[in-house]
Amino acid sequence: MTASKRREPALAAIALFLDVDGTLLELAATPRAVSVPGDLREGLRGLSLASGGAVALVSGREIRDLDALFAPLTLPSAGLHGFEHRSASGVYHRRPLPSAAALEDARGAISHLARQHAGLLLEDKQFALALHYRDAPHLEEAVMKAMREIAARLTGELELQRGKMVVELRPAGATKAEAVAAFLAEAPFAGRLPIFIGDDLTDEPAFELVNRLDGASVVVNAKRASAARTRFADVTAVRGWLTQLQAEPAAALGQLPAFGHPASACHAPSPAAASGPRLRSRA
């Protein structure tokens, strides 16, 4: 990436990658309890058009779930943390499937665990299985112990992934970093400066990749240490920044370290841009 392109804060120069839950949408008690506001859907459509289609969703959800949430908008998407991928041209592919035996073993064990304890919720993603304990935080230690034991006997098939009040068994080897790299190898993302916005531990590999590429990494509502070089306070801040990005690309992009501002000097938008986010520099 040339220095001149890095200094050019224009939508034609960027590739925007967005996590969904906890980033674009507030976390809810269950994965099915969320909805996409019409203004967010239209804002993403506008950004996609203005950027030449270089806006993608990179999520732990299945692509079919993303399509249902954002319908009728359909964006390039990576689902199940990079296990499945749909390009801007609509070409779909996925990594090799875990064996049916491994999935059934995990499904049975996690279902049994969820039935034993009130407040646990199994989310069956077809090729990945997530156990939510948001309604039973006191069970975190027991949940982690049980899930580690299940993962240990399925080594090479499914691997453990922690998140916010959830632990997941997902296909081994798939990461959001690989998902972003795959997009950056194809049109219209290739040759652009990547921006990745996410909130959870599953987003850290993508932050690290984007940093290596001199892109912009943004973590949302995180009290933990993160590889991300910029922090947004919450989902409202993300949506405000996306609104500003469409209306005033230079002003919005100028707040990110990759576009010329050091991480210690990120600023909130001026009062005239009150709809934008309040930024916090990396801790």
User: What pTM was computed for the model?
Assistant: 0.80
CA distance 157 to 159: 7
Tell me the per-residue pLDDT of 71-128, one tens digit each, with 9 for 90 and over: 999 999 999 999 999 999 999 999 988 889 999 999 999 999 999 999 999 989 888 8
Mean predicted lDDT score pLDDT of the chain: 87
pLDDT for 96 equals 87
Number of CB atoms found within 10 A of residue 262's CB: 10
**C-alpha separations of 234 from 23, 59, 252, 282 in Å:** 7, 17, 16, 14
In CATH terms, the fold of domain 100-171 is Alpha-Beta Plaits (3.30.70)
In CATH terms, the fold of domain 3-94+174-281 is Rossmann fold (3.40.50)
Pairing of strands 14-18, 193-198: parallel
pLDDT (mean) for 218-225: 92
pLDDT (mean) for 210-234: 95
Contacts of 184 (CB under 8 A, 6+ apart): 15, 190, 192, 194, 213
pLDDT (mean) for 3-14: 64
Our answer to whether residue 21 is catalytic in this structure is: no
User: Position of tokens 């916005």?
Assistant: 197
Three-state SS for 132?
strand
Residues above pLDDT 70, as percent of the chain: 88
Contact between residue 238 and residue 198 where contact means Cβ atoms under 8 Å apart: no
pLDDT for 261 equals 54
The secondary structure of the chain in percent helix, strand, coil, rounded to multiples of 5, reads 40, 20, 40
Tell me the per-residue pLDDT of 125-136, one tens digit each, with 9 for 90 and over: 888 899 999 899
Q: In the numeric block, which tokens belong to residue 187?
A: 């049109």
Catalytic residue among 19, 67, 200, 203: 19
Question: What are the domain boundaries of the chain?
Answer: 3-94+174-281, 100-171
